[in-house]
Structure 1
Amino acid sequence: MTSGTLPAHTAGRGVAVSLGASLLFAVIFLIAGLLPGWGAEEIFGRRVVLTLATLSCILPFLPWARADARALAVRVRRRPSLLALGLVAAGLVAVQLWLFMWAPLHNMALSVSFGYFLLPLSMVLAGRFFFADKLSVLLKLAVAAAGVGVIHEAITAGGLAWPTLVVCLGYPVYFVLRRKLGFDSLAAFAGELLLLLPLGIYFIVVGPHGIAGSGSSGPGGSGGIWGALSIGVLGGLAMALYLLASKWLPLSLFGLLGYVEPVLLVGVSLYLGESLGWSALLTYGPILLALFLLCVDGRRSSRPLGE
């Protein structure tokens, strides 16, 4: 059975969990922006600890996740040097997790959202350069259209904001490294969080709210404690749903639904008080056209022969 001929009930579940994951990531982004008086580092620490705890409760009940964990353990046991490369991957994803918390607290949510809009295109280029993927005519047109939007943004804003660059350039490096190492699984992500656990605990201990949430009075007080805790739990659930969607959906449909998240992040950014002028149409318009072309190409390439 090909990815393009999955049973309707499986595809339906895949769509539901993909949309659920995108919604949870947007909720995390919103909660982080509504925690005045909290530092991104402390929120990051709680997210690492609680996301790891949540995954520890979920993974044992997923047969494919248990198989991935066993395979990962065998590989690391045979090649202990993989731990060093895993630490590099953990460092790369740590930057992204921290930035996702920092941006909405510092009026940079739109910059991060723009980075997520560019990410699919930067992943296409990464596949071309690191894995010799061939670019179809539609993919070349998509890259060109995205280039128009990027150039316009760079000219009007005096250059791309550094959070945008961290997302659209940093994530491809992270994903390429994971693919090269064979660490492309939810179990591997849990392993990366395990490596980040000491750092997460440190940020919690030195943070103003401490381990038990002491010092929770004032802005972002007791309500902020629950917000920070929910970010960690929702992060674990979102990653589990995201991986389930990748297994249940055809690649083209999975990619298409992945574009729901940056749209939601832009909505969250506007809700938090940032604004877009009319000139943004010349930035986001070509980007949306590029994403549309990318979806069409993915749909065509995933069709079974003879369809």
Structure 2
Amino acid sequence: MNTTIGVTLNVIASFLFASMFAYTSLLTNLNGEEIFGWRMLLTFPCLTVFIITRGYWGQIVTICQRLTQSIMFVVTRIFSAAMLSFQLWLFVWAPGNGHGLSVSLGYFIMPLTMVLIGKIAFQDRMTGYQKVACFSALLGILYQIGFSENIAWPTLAVGLGYPVYFWLRRKTDTNNIGGLWVDMVLSLPISIIFIYSGGEITSDILGNIDTLWLVIGLGVLSASALTFQALSGPHLNLTLFGLLVYVEPALLLVVALILGEEIKASEWPTYLAIWFSVFLLIVEGVTSLGINNKFRRRKNMHI
């Protein structure tokens, strides 16, 4: 396991995802549905090639076999694909519609929500750091609801929706890249419908050549980000991978500010509470990483 390579690949992936977040603002001729459709259509073949060349096709075969054995499993896959589609659509729709900050805040909240779901649904043990972090985030959200009388729906959609999606994948034993591929296959029909219903490019390809190149660039960014993220996994332990989760929302926050959004005065207590929660989880992760490395060095010395 080469940690340096893993960190580098993961950080590159985060920068690529953030670049895609900003890149969507260039596609002014397309609505969010069309951008989502093209992203899915262009990313899917790249993901397929990656799975085949890296030897993950067996995961897909197993899932397809299960689809023929259980109607309930089919239902969960359709629901999972719908949730993934919504999240990917929201990611490309938000920057051009003034919700970039809301989505970035949702990504900050997401790991905290996943800790709670792990505790409730899978009886995962919560550490002291995690308990304080979740309590701080809860106070921030309650403040936003109580004093500002609202919290942006994209924040809740990401902060609550994505953890439910990952919970379902873990519950159905499809929490792997093969499960992602199946979800994308089931999402392709709606992606194609979005592309043709918008018709911005398909109706006149030659007349929209500049937009076509921009769309191809979006596909390259999306596929590259997904590939770098997947390649980083084998080089990282769970603690370090969890810490790197926070790089992407931090970059998304910067992108949203660059695009002209701003944090309102009434929203600062919520952001500070959630950033404090994130800080606690980072401290816990760094501490855990240091202890594990120290244990390995001692073990190697004894060997």
On whether the aligned pair clears a TM of 0.5, the verdict is yes
Given that residues 209 and 215 in structure 1 are in contact (C-alpha distance below 8 angstroms), is that contact kept between their aligned partners in structure 2?
no
> Which residue of structure 1 lines up, in the alignment, with residue 298 of structure 2?
none
Match of 1:47 among 36, 39, 46: 39
Given that residues 33 and 89 in structure 2 are in contact (C-alpha distance below 8 angstroms), is that contact kept between their aligned partners in structure 1?
yes
Letter in 2 for 1:100: F
Deviates more, 1:287-296 or 1:272-281: 272-281
User: How many angstroms apart in 2 are the aligned matches of 1:212 and 1:186?
Assistant: 34
| Aligned sequence identity (%) | 36
Are 1:171 and 2:162 an aligned pair?
yes
Match of 1:230 among 217, 220, 231: 217
Tell me how far 1:105 sits from its aligned partner: 1.6
Tell me how far 1:78 sits from its aligned partner: 4.2
Tell me how far 1:215 sits from its aligned partner: 7.8
User: How many angstroms apart in 2 are the aligned matches of 1:235 and 1:96?
Assistant: 14
Aligned-partner SS, 2:94: helix
**TM-score with structure 2 setting the length:** 0.89
Letter in 2 for 1:236: A
Which string of whole-angstrom CA distances, capped at 9 and with x for unpartnered residues, describes residues 64-103 of structure 1?
Answer: x234233333433444642221111000111101111111
Classify 1:222/1:148 alpha carbon distance in 2 versus 1 (closer, same or farther; 3 Å): farther
> Which residue of structure 2 lines up, in the alignment, with residue 85 of structure 1?
76
> Which residue of structure 2 lines up, in the alignment, with residue 199 of structure 1?
190
Deviates more, 1:123-132 or 1:228-237: 228-237
> Which residue of structure 2 lines up, in the alignment, with residue 242 of structure 1?
229
Tell me how far 1:213 sits from its aligned partner: 5.3
Aligned-partner SS, 1:172: helix
Tell me how far 1:11 sits from its aligned partner: 0.9
Given that residues 69 and 187 in structure 1 are in contact (C-alpha distance below 8 angstroms), is that contact kept between their aligned partners in structure 2?
yes
CA RMSD of aligned residues (A): 2.2
> Which residue of structure 2 lines up, in the alignment, with residue 113 of structure 1?
104
Are 1:186 and 2:177 an aligned pair?
yes
User: How many angstroms apart in 2 are the aligned matches of 1:153 and 1:215?
Assistant: 48
Tell me how far 1:287 sits from its aligned partner: 1.5
Classify 1:48/1:213 alpha carbon distance in 2 versus 1 (closer, same or farther; 3 Å): farther
User: How many angstroms apart in 1 are the aligned matches of 2:61 and 2:287?
Assistant: 36
Which string of whole-angstrom CA distances, capped at 9 and with x for unpartnered residues, describes residues 206-237 of structure 1?
Answer: 11324375385xxxx54332222222332223
Which string of whole-angstrom CA distances, capped at 9 and with x for unpartnered residues, describes residues 22-54 of structure 1?
Answer: 111111111112221311011111111111111
User: How many angstroms apart in 2 are the aligned matches of 1:280 and 1:113?
Assistant: 13
Deviates more, 1:65-74 or 1:36-45: 65-74
Deviates more, 1:70-79 or 1:96-105: 70-79
Classify 1:212/1:66 alpha carbon distance in 2 versus 1 (closer, same or farther; 3 Å): farther
> Which residue of structure 1 lines up, in the alignment, with residue 301 of structure 2?
none
Aligned-partner SS, 1:29: helix
Match of 2:29 among 37, 41, 54: 37
User: How many angstroms apart in 1 are the aligned matches of 2:169 and 2:36?
Assistant: 22
Tell me how far 1:140 sits from its aligned partner: 0.8
**Unaligned 5+ residue runs, structure 2?**
296-303
Tell me how far 1:167 sits from its aligned partner: 0.5
Classify 1:157/1:245 alpha carbon distance in 2 versus 1 (closer, same or farther; 3 Å): farther
Letter in 1 for 2:113: S
Deviates more, 1:24-33 or 1:243-252: 243-252
Letter in 1 for 2:138: G
Letter in 2 for 1:227: L
User: How many angstroms apart in 2 are the aligned matches of 1:114 and 1:213?
Assistant: 38
Letter in 1 for 2:240: L
Letter in 2 for 1:110: L
User: How many angstroms apart in 1 are the aligned matches of 2:217 and 2:44?
Assistant: 13
User: How many angstroms apart in 1 are the aligned matches of 2:96 and 2:190?
Assistant: 21
Letter in 2 for 1:69: I
User: How many angstroms apart in 1 are the aligned matches of 2:210 and 2:104?
Assistant: 26
Are 1:251 and 2:230 an aligned pair?
no
Counterparts of 1:1-307 in structure 2 under 5 Å? 7=1, 10-63=2-55, 65-79=56-70, 81-211=72-202, 214=205, 216=207, 221-277=208-264, 280-301=267-288, 303-304=291-292, 307=295
Given that residues 51 and 236 in structure 1 are in contact (C-alpha distance below 8 angstroms), is that contact kept between their aligned partners in structure 2?
yes
Q: When the two structures are aligned, how many residues end up with a matched partner?
A: 294
Deviates more, 1:161-170 or 1:71-80: 71-80
Letter in 2 for 1:130: A
User: How many angstroms apart in 2 are the aligned matches of 1:306 and 1:229?
Assistant: 46
Given that residues 102 and 154 in structure 2 are in contact (C-alpha distance below 8 angstroms), is that contact kept between their aligned partners in structure 1?
yes
Given that residues 55 and 237 in structure 1 are in contact (C-alpha distance below 8 angstroms), is that contact kept between their aligned partners in structure 2?
no
Classify 1:27/1:71 alpha carbon distance in 2 versus 1 (closer, same or farther; 3 Å): same
Letter in 2 for 1:246: G
Tell me how far 1:197 sits from its aligned partner: 1.0
